[in-house]
Structure 1
């Protein structure tokens, strides 16, 4: 990002609102949505700076602005905070207006009101002599703000307005009431001075980190950078603003804008704004050339420039959203039990690379072929990611290339798709070798679930019964305990540390039996294993008179052979 397109500095609220600067919420930015919880947090923060021993300043976070002239700014992120601070100032002006109407030092109070209004709310344009507000809200909220709140009308109307407009009214009234309480607690007779001092101190002690960019692309890059650093901003809103601006600048009819807004909000509501960028990237990569998240906005901005392209993008997203939600939250889908289980396994593996291909397959294939590919995706991921620990970057590109070809109709059937994925199918020999040497630390709950799943699949393969690996009827048993006591002299300290989380050292054990055995020595554990209903666990007792590093390795090699037969795609295994 060029330095000339990006500027950052810290500014107080007073500096932000001074020097003839104006701020505009983009027409299609989200509506005002703060509630009493946020109002109260902000109010308490402000009061905390006004107390004699209070904090000297309060940090309000990032404010992302877009401007070409450094005089008029579009508020990309921070509109809720700026709008609420404006409402606090307006509530203060309302109290000053009441003092004037009550003839309490009317001249001095009027001077204070006008000075505060000019500084923080609006000013007289020196060229046109037309009053101008310093803050303009979005298309759904600005009329109420400019018509009723800025003029400080006596009775704010309540009927026939949007929910967000009611939120503006309620916020104004809430701060109006808090300011009344603040005045009473102050005990001061010169209330006009107290109110003016309140705004001045608040304005000097609240400060922002202000990031100013010159266009939407730089704004998006700022969002990506801040998100990478843990500051949660909404690139979803930025993309929405761009798409709406495509229609707006082409002067489309209001009903088209309303249709677009309704469809957009429906999708975001189903996904959640934090999940939306990931969905959009998966959707895009299922149809187009591979693009990384950091380049997604730039790519869409260059490819979606007309009214037809905007609505086509929404139509295609509508087509894919159910599949994406099924993969992300399988239990909420209407899929078959087998498909839900397969999607659940991918989620447990923390593997998302197959998603673009699966979206393409859902569009192109029958339900049966889609489910077959979904189950194959579990095998690919188990071999390549879980056991092989192969780098996912190349895998992601292969999935994208195959998804793109499938979307273009280049594959005649499912077998052709599987054949195109050969390069990311870890072959039998390297898979067996990787499995035989695999260590999975079960100190994390995700890893415990993974090993339980793995062992249940092997138990099913060698013995027949199917077990719910999340069942509380059995536990994960470490033959060599995680905290060994006496009776484990066959393992040196280094060997114990290296072997305890080897797959060959783990098995399944009924909950009570697992609890009874705990850290017992192997001879006692062996007696207990003979009583277990799990064949895997019985085999340990039958085949191992003692438990040593060599026996762990031998058992894991046997398990690797079973795994190669379980997680297998015949046409790719030869």
Structure 2
């Protein structure tokens, strides 16, 4: 970030608005969306700063601005907060305008009103001699904000406006009611209102990050997101695409069409999922791009209006596949396809997605489902059991995606030739499995263990049961909290032994409750009575349970697992 052209400083609301600068929400930025929950939170925070012994200030978070001339600033992130504070100031001004109009200390209140407007709302342009707002909103909200709220209209119309405009009006009226209660009983309501605005303008402050262009803004977004501050890179990319269309003769019509299609895509994905989808989509068709460089790559390639609409068409083509992979329950896929997608998600393995998106576009269904199943097997061998580094795996999957996209590969067998590089051999897989430890105190890991034991049970005993069924639980033969009778296991290595796969078996729920932390001699008869083949076999073949017996069983399970998770065309 050292070479990035940006400035960072803390500024109060007064320092932001109390000068000749102007702020605008980009035309196609998202609409105003705050509601009573957010208003309540902000109002409570403001109240905490008002008493003489109250909080000295309230931090409003990051504000990301973009400017080319240090006079006009586009609000890249922070528009909801800026707009809401403006509504509070305007609500105070409308209340202040009423005693002024009614003649109660009229001159003083008119001067206060003029000063507040000049400081926080708008100013007189010295060239045109017309009032210019310091804050202008997006295309859906600005006209109402300018014509009714800034004008302090006595009547605020409610018909014929989008939902976001109604939210903005309701926020204005909500704060007006709170302010009316705030000044009730004040000897000089006008002075109390002016003092309220002055106080919050000095006590609400932001960390302001100012960037010179959209690429720097994207880099800021990536850095802040990595630190847990969620900003909308989705909106940033959207604004860039609109800026491309703004250069053409059909700008308004094309931007309206882009807005319509963009909102459909984002609504289906959710704004937080969009950057991930875009990267998977992009890597299924283009040179490999990491998330941190994606905006730059897209910007360099999408520079003409034709390219903008080509990107939209291609995203439309891929969105169903992406959603089916990430949210398989709602997909219109056959059950076997959905099952494989669910397993990939359970493994938290996403590296194959670009390849699978490319495959869904180009392969016959029979080949696609074979590839999807093969991907699950590779993920289990390479990621779940092998825990190997994903960098090489991601490169191989991208190579396969490019072969599918270019037409170099057009069936399952050809893609599989490329994937051999990330398919661990039986020997390597069995060696990894024989030593595998999975700590079931984490819910995701417990789910994976149930999945493994269920698959092994089906292979060994032919019993196919639902791994998620509450009728079965994981029994740790060596208990997680052992008491008497487990002297064979060294305390130093206890946790490793407890979470070895061989130490775990599926058992009927009622029987599991009986066993608790009992010694093996008391557990064995209960295990022998289980209807599950592998659980019963464990008890029958082991008169006692010691480290060497556990290791021997895990080798047996490893051999069995190599037959369950196997790609026949490679083995």
Name the TM-score class by shorter chain.
over 0.9
2:143 alignment partner in structure 1:
143
Pair 478,340 (structure 1): closer, same or farther in 2 beyond 3 Å: same
2:189 to 191, 200, 209: 191
Match of 1:100 in 2: 100
Give 1:202's match in structure 2, choosing from 164, 188, 200: 200
Deviations 1:318-373 (A, max 9, x none): 11111111111111111111111111111111110111111011101122221111
Alpha-carbon distance in structure 1 between the residues aligned to 2:502 and 2:283: 39
Work out the CA distance in 1 between the residues paired with 2:44 and 2:522: 62
Aligned mates of 1:120, 1:286 — CA distance in 2: 49
The worse-fitting range, judged by mean Cα deviation, of 127-136 and 298-307 is 127-136
Q: Say which of 561, 565, 570 aligns to 1:567.
A: 565
Question: 2:491: which partner in 1?
Answer: 493
Task: Report the alpha carbon displacement of residue 161 of structure 1 after superposing the two structures with TM.
Answer: 1.4
**Equivalent-residue separation in structure 2 for 1:426 and 1:311 (angstroms):** 42
**What SS is found at the alignment partner of 2:569?**
helix
Give, in whole Å, the separation in 2 of the partners of 1:188 and 1:171: 24
The answer to which of 71-80 and 519-528 deviates more is 519-528
- Following superposition, the deviation at residue 35 of structure 1 comes to 1.1
Which range moved further: 537-546 or 208-217? 537-546
Matches within 5 A, 1:52-451: 52-184=52-184, 187-451=185-449
CA distance in 2, matches of 1:532, 1:313: 57
CA contact (8 A) 2:22 2:134 kept: yes
Cα distance, 1:162 vs. partner?
A: 1.4
How far off its partner does 1:83 sit? Answer: 0.8
Secondary structure at the counterpart of residue 570 of structure 1? coil
Note if contact 1:48-1:55 (Cα within 8 Å) is conserved in structure 2.
Answer: yes
Structure 2 counterpart SS, 1:249: coil
Give how far 1:93 is off: 1.2
How far apart, CA to CA, are the structure 2 residues paired with 1:80 and 1:259? 25
TM-score normalised over the length of structure 2: 0.98
Aligned to 2:22: 22
Counterpart-to-counterpart distance in 2, 1:398 and 1:369: 19
Contact 1:22/1:135 (<8 A) preserved: yes
The 8 Å contact of residues 439 and 502 in structure 1, kept in 2 or not, is answered as yes
Contact in 2 for aligned 1:137/1:145 (Cα 8 Å): yes
Bigger CA drift: 18-27 or 7-16? 18-27
Cα distance in 2 between the residues matched to 1:42 and 1:434: 54
Query: 1:253: how far off?
Result: 4.3
Count of residues in Structure 1 that have an aligned counterpart in Structure 2: 571
How far has the Cα of 1:402 moved from its partner? Answer: 0.9
Q: Which runs of 5+ in 2 are unaligned?
A: none
Report the Cα offset of residue 2 of structure 1: 5.0
Q: 1:253 to 1:212 in 2, by over 3 A?
A: closer
RMSD over aligned Cα atoms: 1.2
**Equivalent residue of 1:76, what SS?**
strand
Q: Partners in 1 of 2:250 and 2:425 — Cα distance?
A: 55
Higher mean C-alpha displacement, 168-177 vs 349-358: 168-177
Q: Name 1:466's counterpart in structure 2.
A: 464
CA contact (8 A) 2:363 2:410 kept: no
TM-score scaled by length of structure 1: 0.98
Residue 23 (structure 2) pairs with residue 45 (structure 1): no
Q: Secondary structure at the match of 1:49?
A: coil
Aligned mates of 1:437, 1:445 — CA distance in 2:
21
* Larger displacement relative to structure 2 (144-153 or 220-229): 144-153
Q: Distance in 1 between matches of 2:235 and 2:312?
A: 15
Deviation at 1:509, TM superposition (A): 0.8
How many Å apart are 1:543 and its aligned residue? 1.1
Instruction: State which drifts further: 420-429 or 143-152.
Output: 143-152
1:558 aligns with 2:556: yes
Residues in 2 aligned to 1:249 and 1:142: alpha-carbon distance in whole angstroms: 22
Shift, 1:190, TM fit: 1.2
Residues 364, 406 of structure 1: 8 Å contact kept: yes
